[in-house]
Amino acid sequence: MPNLTTTSIFLLLEFTERRDLQILHFFAFLGLYLIAVTNNLLISILVIIDHRLHTPMYFFLMNLGILDIGSISVMVPKAMANSLLNSRSISYSGCVAQVFFFFAFATSDLALLTIMAHDRYVAICNPLQYELIMHKEACIQMVASAWISGILNATLHTGGTFAVTFCSNVVNQFFCEVPQLLKLACSDLYLVEVGLLVLNCSIVLGCFIFIIVTYMNIFATVLRIPSVQGQKKALSTCLPHLTVVSLLVFSGIFAYARPPTNTSSLLDVVCAVIYTIISPLLNPVIYSMRNKEIKAALLKLLRLGPLSKLISNRILL
């Protein structure tokens, strides 16, 4: 195959050649994108303006919302534009940007979810020391470390991916996914990025194991709570978090850790949609679905009288 190291564009996966279905894909992605951005932005605004939500848990949730807005904005707008314009192309610099920002947001997201598990552990298993451990400065430092780790990891992966020589510019995915890009490599330098991916998957599994062990301790503590209402309240804050983590980790591991194939299957696309679109879409829904504080803050914001409860339920559920 020809050496395409100096190529100026990549050709992304086309969902369909039928124009009517391309338009349908555009509106489907547009709807999902607007819902995800609106809900995450709404929760972030509520946390900022409502003093009752100025606690570590909601501070972390606000940052998670910001990360989810960034994560879904990296991939979806370009996919929508290509469907609308009947195009498959993305510039070389655009592809580099997608890889960098995806890893930055995804790494920070996982780091933040791990921090949130620690926050729930301290709140439930060591409540008397909660304010001492999870004070304002500590929370800011934790969030800053999550963002910094994301930027550093993104720099490593972007450099490792685009240091290789590409022998094709046809990417079998609707965005610049690293495993699909590595299939196009025709130099041994791609092994550097493979090594980084293996290391990353190990770290992801380590974080997931830490979260699982943390929740095992939390559940053991919850079961000792004499009040059934207290048990339900504690579990209602933990189970949504565990659901979010599992969705992100398993879909990501499937995409980045399994052996590569020469073609993109429907399962590859579905998996990519899960961790790039569905996860940011569901995060605010899962966290807000049974959260009385968030709903109360929304009612206060809307101030629409008797209809406010109905509208807030429509938005959050």
Write out the DSSP string of 26-50: HHHHHHHHHHHHHHHHHHHHHHHH-
**Is 102 part of any domain?**
yes
Its pTM surpasses 0.75 = yes
In this predicted structure, the answer to whether residue 308 has a pLDDT above a threshold of 50 is no
**Is 255 part of any domain?**
yes
Average pLDDT along the chain: 84
| 266 or 149: which leads in pLDDT | 149
The predicted pLDDT at position 81 comes to: 92
Residue 24 · residue 243 · CB < 8 Å: no
Split at pLDDT 50, 70, 90, the class of 306 is very low
What stretches of the chain show up as alpha helix (H) in DSSP?
19-49, 56-85, 92-125, 130-133, 136-162, 178-182, 190-223, 228-257, 266-273, 279-288, 292-302, 307-316
**Is 4 part of any domain?**
no
Rounded CA separation 25/36 (Å): 16
Nearest CA to 279 among 259, 304, 250? 250
**Is 126 part of any domain?**
yes
Q: What percent of the chain has pLDDT over 70?
A: 87
Give residue 267's identity as a one-letter amino acid code: L
Q: What is the pLDDT of residues 129-176, one digit of tens each?
A: 999 999 999 999 999 999 999 999 999 999 989 988 888 889 988 899
| 157 or 219: which leads in pLDDT | 157
Read off the pLDDT of each residue in 72-94 and give the average, rounded to a whole number: 92
Split at pLDDT 50, 70, 90, the class of 261 is low
Beta bridge partners of 304: none
Rounded CA separation 270/156 (Å): 27
Read off the pLDDT of each residue in 82-108 and give the average, rounded to a whole number: 93
Read off the pLDDT of each residue in 286-302 and give the average, rounded to a whole number: 73
Q: Which two tokens stand for residue 72?
A: 């879904």
The predicted pLDDT at position 13 comes to: 87
**Is 176 part of any domain?**
yes
Q: What is the rounded (10 degree) CA torsion for 120, 121, 127, 128?
A: -130
Nearest CA to 159 among 193, 130, 125? 193
The predicted pLDDT at position 311 comes to: 46
Give residue 33's identity as a one-letter amino acid code: Y
> How many domains in the chain?
1
**Is 1 part of any domain?**
no
DSSP state of 304: -
Nearest CA to 99 among 169, 165, 157? 157
Split at pLDDT 50, 70, 90, the class of 263 is low
Q: What is the pLDDT of residues 42-82, one digit of tens each?
A: 888 888 888 888 889 899 999 999 999 999 999 999 999 99
* Residue labelled with tokens 């489907």: 28
- Write the CATH number for 28: 1.20.1070.10
The predicted pLDDT at position 241 comes to: 73
Read off the pLDDT of each residue in 194-208 and give the average, rounded to a whole number: 88
Q: What percent of the chain has pLDDT over 90?
A: 34
- Domain that includes residue 149, residue range: 9-316
Split at pLDDT 50, 70, 90, the class of 259 is low
Query: What are the strands, taking DSSP E only, across the chain?
Result: 9-11, 89-91
Rounded CA separation 214/221 (Å): 11
- 3-state SS class at 286: helix
**Is 120 part of any domain?**
yes
Rounded CA separation 134/117 (Å): 12
**How many helices and strands, by DSSP H and E, does the chain display?**
12, 2
The rounded Cα 10 to chain-centroid distance in angstroms is: 24
* Residue labelled with tokens 């299939």: 183
- H or E stretch covering 258: none
In this predicted structure, the answer to whether residue 102 has a pLDDT above a threshold of 90 is yes
**Is 124 part of any domain?**
yes
Give residue 306's identity as a one-letter amino acid code: P
| 253 or 90: which leads in pLDDT | 90
The predicted pLDDT at position 26 comes to: 92
* Residue labelled with tokens 């380590």: 206
